[in-house]
Amino acid sequence: MIMPFSWHHLNHWDLAVLPMILLVGAAALYAWGVRRTGPWPRVRDVCFGLGLLVTFIATQTFIGAYDMEYFSDHMVQHLLLIMVAAPLFALSAPLDLAYQSGTDAIRRFLDGKFMAKVTHPLFAFALYFAFIPFTHLTSFMNLMMTHPWIHRVEQIAFLVVGYLFFRVAFGLERGYKLHPGLCLVYVMAAVPVDTFTGLVLSMSSRVPFSSYAAMAPTGSSKAWMLSNIKLGGGIMWIGGDALMLLALIPIGIMWVKWETVRTRELDAVLDAQGI
């Protein structure tokens, strides 16, 4: 058990081997794909790099070092992964890069029925809607706290679930696409699940996770643990809703651009018909 948090812990690093291997491997694989593809939008490279940076900050700095001891810290990590890093990865369009730079077998897999179902908007929405309460309001939290490998899998799941959700919202990659206006509704419809989860935790009258007593800092009382869980719920509620609403800005910009292009196309057709 560790001592209570103090400001000198901001310089604490948790450079675990497996996450670092995954981060470096993802960067190398993306760079290899860009090299094979040839011209690739620079903005997508920047988004992928920022996604890796946010993932590193969330898992390998003091945030990752104390995410098991401080529930509030765990919620900060969760938001960084699923609502900051994942949207950045979605904006980098990794599946399109894999399609263009991959082999025929990879392209057949991406065009197959399995990926069509996994990337479908309904599946992505349902997965996000179920994943958030499952990982924070059920006994899964106890398993995560007592089994480090489950915690690592959870971190990866945050990225995957967030990526699948936001790739639909942004509509940049090939596959099933929603109308840009419907994308706004798609994101707003998911906001209540974050609000509900955060409110449930904020209104807890007791510590909902039995394993938290063993993971909390040395000398932590039940009152302090409950207070930290309430703080985590508030972070989930306010921070999660704010980040989801922030995501509406690029979606709104995309909608405006889409309508502008369609208006020009319609004007061109009308002009050709002399109307």
Instruction: Give tens-digit pLDDT for 239-270.
Output: 999 999 898 888 888 888 878 877 887 767 76
pLDDT at 7 (0 to 100):
46
Q: How confident is the model at residue 15 (pLDDT cuts 50, 70, 90)?
A: low
Per-residue pLDDT tens digits for 166-197: 999 998 898 888 888 899 999 999 999 999 99
Q: How confident is the model at residue 149 (pLDDT cuts 50, 70, 90)?
A: confident
Do residues 54 and 82 touch, judged by C-beta distance below 8 A?
Answer: no
Q: Which of 10-19, 49-58, 219-228 has the highest mean pLDDT?
A: 49-58
pLDDT at 10 (0 to 100):
53
Per-residue pLDDT tens digits for 200-235: 999 988 888 888 888 888 778 889 999 999 999 999
Res. 33: pLDDT tops 90: yes
Average pLDDT over residues 114-137: 94
Q: Calculate what percentage of the chain has a pLDDT beyond 90.
A: 56
Q: Helix 248-272 crosses helix 148-170 at what angle (to 10 degrees)? A: 30
| pTM for this predicted structure | 0.88
Greater model confidence, 50 or 61: 50
pLDDT at 211 (0 to 100):
87
Res. 272: pLDDT tops 90: no
Task: Read off the tokens for 89.
Answer: 């990865």
Buried b (16+ CB within 10 A) or exposed e, 108-123: eebeeeeeeeebebee
pLDDT at 92 (0 to 100):
95
Average pLDDT, rounded, for the chain: 88
Res. 30: pLDDT tops 50: yes
